[in-house]
Amino acid sequence: MSKKRGREQPAINTQLVEIYEDLANVDENIRLKAAQALLTNFVADGKSTGEQLNEIVRRLLRGLCSGRKAARLGFSVVLTELLIELLGPSGRSVAGFQNVLELIETLKNQSQVSSNVSGQEERDHQFGRLFGAESIIKSGILFQPSMGVEAWSNILDIVYELAKRKPWLREECGFILFNSIQILKGKDLEYAQLIIDKLLAKGLSKTPQGVAIWIGIQAEFPSIALPRGVWHHEDPLNRKDISRLAKILMEASATTSPQSVLESETTTNGAWATKLQFAWDVVLAELLDFHPQGLQKSAKPAKRMRFAEFWEECIDILSDIFTQNLMRCLTNQLASPERYLHRAAERSIKTILARARSNPNTRAPMLKALLDPVNGDINFDKITKTKTVETLISLVDDPSFEQVVGIYEDLILRPGVDDEKTAASRRQSAADQLVSAVRTIQHHSTEQVLAKSEFLVNIRRILALLAKCAYFEVDNAPNDQGDSTGPKISQASREMFRTRISSCLSSLVAKPIREPSYFAYELVCNIHGREENANHPHVVLNADENVRNVLRKAWQTLRKVHAQSSCDPDEEARFFRALELLYSLTILQVHNEEADAVGILVELNHSFKPLLQKKRRPQDSATLIEILLSFIAKPSQLFRRLAQQVFTACASELDDTALQSMIEILETKESLSGQSQMFDQEDEEGQAGSASDVEEVDLAKTGLGSSSAEEESDEGSSDTDAADSDEDDGLAELNAKLAQIVGTRPGNEDVDAEDSSSSDEGMTDEQMFELNGSLENIFRERKKVTSKKTEKKDAKENIVNFKCRVLDLLEIYVKQEHGNGLALSLSLPILALVRTTTSPLVSRKACDVMREYARLCKGDGMPHIEDRESVFDLLEAVHVEAMKEGSNAHASACSQASLLLVRVLVAHDRECLRKVVKVYGATQERALFDSSCKVKTSFFTDWLNWCTSARK
């Protein structure tokens, strides 16, 4: 029998070694399997003797002192379960196994540190002692009725001694004792009392851990007799102790004024950590009435304000957090990635935005703080290179958006500075941010905007504020906070606000959320309402009684048009909505004090009065076209889009006179004389100083830089050469006059000349004065010549831009009315424009219109004609145009127009094809025998290709 046992013992030891090794493995699953194997194979009933179990416990306590891998985690779990199995309330008795007091002594012995160990080994043993104490506490063997409090007192001594002697272990010790409070629930009050007594005895009551333990005991054991004199009314959260509590939680031990030498020694040895200690969670949980880990709310009535009540009181003063120092620090650190606290500042901004997303009530106060003229800056996003303000505005929903509009109104009326230039700059920044807010709302889908009506309301609020500042005398008296007023809104700022209104409306017309006329009409209604209300600011429009009568009639007409737009069928409603947009923006132009706006209103009232009386469209479309042409002549995208919207709705009503008005513009020379012919000089001067739309694009400059412009650069070469020749002739003339006055030969002829009379040494004072006067006259004339050249260049750009916009309207017309035979009359003027224009952009646009027209005129879209002879005349005129010298683009456009007319004739009567062949034959004959005929070969190639396809 003894020999058999001798053979089994090495196997047991080998298995234990493997289990101990697995208990230290970093893989949690391996550790749990090893723990289960140990408990099942060695601790289960009858598996081991008391002596063997004592050895296992001793080995586990030694393992807790090991720093390798995850030994403490694995060994502590097994130790806890082993103690519950052997010494717990339902545990079994094993002869020879140590009791609880002996177990505590074993823990002390196994974790004892000798005098000649390294610092790391000493720390491992201290951690092992703490983990061993925690395992004993978690097992619950200390709180059995038969045990008394001696063992509990011994464990408390171990933990408190570690907390006192080893500051770097203090938080872990406090956390273990705080968690033990949950185990004590339902147990004798003496256990909890012992925690408090030893806390004071060790001088740890004024530490973060001591505060947490005190609050935990107070919450779970409300009847406990807490020692007096430590906290006011035995409550660490009492308002009289708030300053001391703050210093304790921040571990500012040097200023806590300890009450004893022991407490002073304890509190001055705290270890600073980068993370907040668990005591913060306990204190905040008590204040927030949120008690994690089963901690119960204290039954003791509290006289302090709860956090929810406090937050309701302080939400309105949230902006006070953003002090001048904080804002200066944020802006400085965010301004450059090289700043030392740049990343910390970025995290702060992310926290601000996260808070705004989670709590809608904080958005407006934080926005106000960031934009505050004193502490913040209206250009916060620009300075910090972030989109903080833009994001906050996008997060604000109704009704909070009304507060945002109020914030911007304060910033505009009271910019916080007395300097007029700085105030104007801040007002412009505020207006730009409001325009950006409108465009942010537009980024939502139309379905989302229509589903949430507050989006539409918010846009109307922004437009109403801009209109208030642009068209009315507003009072910028100090507000309730006594903010400084600053200078009143200047005329230049009013012009800026009007421009921003145009930008908003232009964007809303380009990408309409509702009908394009919706916001323009609502804005005019807002302005009219303010005018009629005596309590609102006075309008700044300087108008006589006649102008005001025109405005009143226009307003009455606009209301009737609006009523018709919502009652008529879809086709009619579209026309009336376009007319509503036209009236609304023209009324705005009158308030903008545009020179010709009143005249346009008079024409509109005259033209559309029969429309509203008879409820049918007007027969004379020429007046409407003239009005639209006056709009697209303005340097504004808004009015260009307005003209396109109205033209789209009225295209089917155009007659030959209306089209001829547009053709006349295409035939205008691109020169100063052409501009004088097209525009009245007085109107031209009136428009010279008007502010253009902030989004206006110079079409001429854009076209000149394109790749297609290089293909057609030969069209403008003669004009460029002429300009260079004029410049050289002017320079030569200037040199000749200078030579005549000074007495030298012009150019290089003077190089070898030595004429003493050219020297000024023999000139008298009278001769010098005469010479100076002559030179001044010459340079004055030269300046006039330069000014004339600039005037010619500007005139050409104006005509080019005007022609491009007319071509945009014609493209709309051919897309909608390509089946109308009247559109055929556009072919010849467009071809002539391609040949005669000096602008590649105009040429390209004209070719695009012709190409689009030819593409659409197929099948059901073929124009219907009544008089085929007029179409034959037009075909012959197109062939004559093709014979003239022009670019390849011109030849291609002529071929497209010719084949279009051929298709129209063949669709009318196939017999017309015989005469068409004769027309082409005559053109080919001239190409062979007439040297002045410059028709391109491709013109006939396209014809032959069409014949091939038509024969099939």
288-337, pLDDT tens digit by residue? 765 544 455 444 444 566 666 666 666 666 777 888 899 999 999 999 99
SS3 content of the chain, % helix, strand, coil (to 5): 70, 0, 25
Q: What is the pLDDT of residues 39-67, one digit of tens each?
A: 888 887 767 888 888 999 999 999 999 88
Paired strand residues for 472: 539
What do you get for the CA distance between the two ends of the chain, in Å? 114
C-alpha 512/C-alpha 466 separation (Å) is: 20
Q: Residue 623, CB half-sphere, CA atoms under 13 Å: how many?
A: 13
∠ Cα 73 74 75 (to 5°)? 100
Q: Which residue has the tokens 């061993």?
A: 132
Comparing C-alpha atoms, which of 653, 652, 560 is closest to residue 615?
Answer: 560
Q: Which tokens in the block code for residue 535? A: 């309590």
pLDDT band of 572, cuts 50, 70, 90: confident
pLDDT score at 543: 80
Specify whether the backbone of 95 is left (phi greater than 0), alpha (psi in -120 to 50) or beta.
Answer: beta
Helix 888-908 × helix 937-951 angle, to 10°: 30
pLDDT score at 702: 36
- Name every residue whose Cβ is closer than 8 Å to that of residue 768 and which is 6 or more positions away in sequence: 760
Residue 537 DSSP class: P
For residue 943, is pLDDT > 90? yes
pLDDT score at 277: 86
> How far are the Cα atoms of 158, 210, 251, 702, 887 from residue 170, in angstroms, in the given order?
12, 10, 12, 73, 91
Contact between 896 and 940 (Cβ < 8 Å): no
Q: Residue 415, CB half-sphere, CA atoms under 13 Å: how many?
A: 24
Higher pLDDT, 712 or 774: 774
How crowded is residue 243: how many other Cβ atoms within 10 Å of its Cβ? 11
Contact between 181 and 248 (Cβ < 8 Å): no
Q: In this predicted structure, which of 112-121, 386-395, 493-502, 832-841 has the lowest mean pLDDT?
A: 112-121
Instruction: Write the DSSP string, 103-161.
Output: HHHHHHHHTPPPTT--HHHHHHHHHHHHHHHHHHHHHTGGG-TTT-SHHHHHHHHHHHH
Q: Which residue has the tokens 């003077």?
A: 750
C-alpha 469/C-alpha 736 separation (Å) is: 58
C-alpha 786/C-alpha 792 separation (Å) is: 10
How far does Cα 57 stand from its chain's mean position?
A: 64
How many helices and strands in the chain, by DSSP H and E? 43, 0
pLDDT score at 713: 38
Higher pLDDT, 646 or 770: 646
pLDDT score at 133: 93
Reduced to 3 states, what is the DSSP secondary structure of residue 214? helix
pLDDT band of 87, cuts 50, 70, 90: confident
Helix 170-183 × helix 208-220 angle, to 10°: 0
Specify whether the backbone of 98 is left (phi greater than 0), alpha (psi in -120 to 50) or beta.
Answer: beta
pLDDT score at 889: 93
C-alpha 481/C-alpha 465 separation (Å) is: 21
Comparing C-alpha atoms, which of 894, 892, 912, 914 is closest to residue 904?
Answer: 912
C-alpha 19/C-alpha 726 separation (Å) is: 103
For residue 126, is pLDDT > 70? yes
pLDDT score at 388: 92
Contact between 785 and 730 (Cβ < 8 Å): yes
Comparing C-alpha atoms, which of 181, 209, 203, 183 is closest to residue 193?
Answer: 181
- Name every residue whose Cβ is closer than 8 Å to that of residue 784 and which is 6 or more positions away in sequence: none
pLDDT band of 807, cuts 50, 70, 90: very high
Taking the whole predicted model, whether its pTM rises above 0.75 is answered as: no
Sequence-distant contacts of 114-119: CB under 8 A, at least 24 apart = none
Q: Which residue has the tokens 């545009």?
A: 594
Q: What is the mean pLDDT of the chain?
A: 80
Helix 656-666 × helix 827-836 angle, to 10°: 10
Higher pLDDT, 499 or 737: 499
Reduced to 3 states, what is the DSSP secondary structure of residue 268? coil
For residue 716, is pLDDT > 60? no
Q: What is the pLDDT of residues 422-439, one digit of tens each?
A: 999 999 999 999 999 988
Which residue type sits at 12?
I
Share of the chain above pLDDT 90, in %: 31
Cis peptide before 618 (omega within 30 of 0): no
∠ Cα 475 481 487 (to 5°)? 35
How crowded is residue 173: how many other Cβ atoms within 10 Å of its Cβ? 22
Q: In this predicted structure, which of 334-348, 518-532, 599-613, 704-718 has the lowest mean pLDDT?
A: 704-718
For residue 111, is pLDDT > 60? yes
- Name every residue whose Cβ is closer than 8 Å to that of residue 110 and which is 6 or more positions away in sequence: 58, 61, 62, 65, 128, 132
For residue 606, is pLDDT > 60? yes
C-alpha 161/C-alpha 158 separation (Å) is: 5
C-alpha 140/C-alpha 934 separation (Å) is: 110
Q: What is the pLDDT of residues 194-229, one digit of tens each?
A: 999 999 999 898 999 999 999 999 889 988 888 888
Contact between 741 and 771 (Cβ < 8 Å): yes
C-alpha 151/C-alpha 162 separation (Å) is: 17
> Which backbone phi and psi does 230 adopt, to 5 degrees?
-85, -50
C-alpha 69/C-alpha 876 separation (Å) is: 98
Comparing C-alpha atoms, which of 266, 138, 255 is closest to residue 210?
Answer: 266
C-alpha 831/C-alpha 882 separation (Å) is: 9
pLDDT score at 883: 94
> How far are the Cα atoms of 66, 519, 590, 602, 797 from residue 631, in angstroms, in the given order?
88, 19, 13, 15, 17
Sequence-distant contacts of 383-390: CB under 8 A, at least 24 apart = 383/331, 383/334, 383/335, 384/330, 384/331, 384/334, 384/335, 384/349, 385/334, 385/335, 386/334, 386/349, 388/349, 388/352, 388/353, 389/433, 390/433, 390/436, 390/440
- Buried-state track 406-439, b at ≥16 Cβ within 10 A, e below 16: ebbbbbbbbbbbeeeeebbbbbbbbbbbbbebbe
Contact between 894 and 847 (Cβ < 8 Å): no
Q: Residue 760, CB half-sphere, CA atoms under 13 Å: how many?
A: 10
- Name every residue whose Cβ is closer than 8 Å to that of residue 596 and which is 6 or more positions away in sequence: 630, 683, 686
Burial class (CB in 10 A: 0-12, 13-18, 19+), 471: buried
Residue 96 DSSP class: T
Q: What is the pLDDT of residues 228-267, one digit of tens each?
A: 888 988 888 888 888 898 899 887 544 444 455 455 445 5
Contact between 691 and 495 (Cβ < 8 Å): yes
Q: Which residue has the tokens 């491009």?
A: 804
For residue 385, is pLDDT > 80? yes
Contact between 709 and 840 (Cβ < 8 Å): yes
Paired strand residues for 539: 472
Comparing C-alpha atoms, which of 151, 4, 118, 132 is closest to residue 57?
Answer: 132
> How far are the Cα atoms of 346, 553, 556, 568, 651 from residue 575, in angstroms, in the given order?
52, 20, 18, 10, 10
State which H helix or E strand residue 171 sits in.
helix 170-183
Q: Compute the average pLDDT of residues 8-12.
A: 45
Comparing C-alpha atoms, which of 566, 499, 558, 503 is closest to residue 525?
Answer: 558
pLDDT score at 720: 43
C-alpha 905/C-alpha 112 separation (Å) is: 114
Q: In this predicted structure, which of 178-182, 225-229, 277-281, 483-487 has the lowest mean pLDDT?
A: 483-487
For residue 721, is pLDDT > 70? no
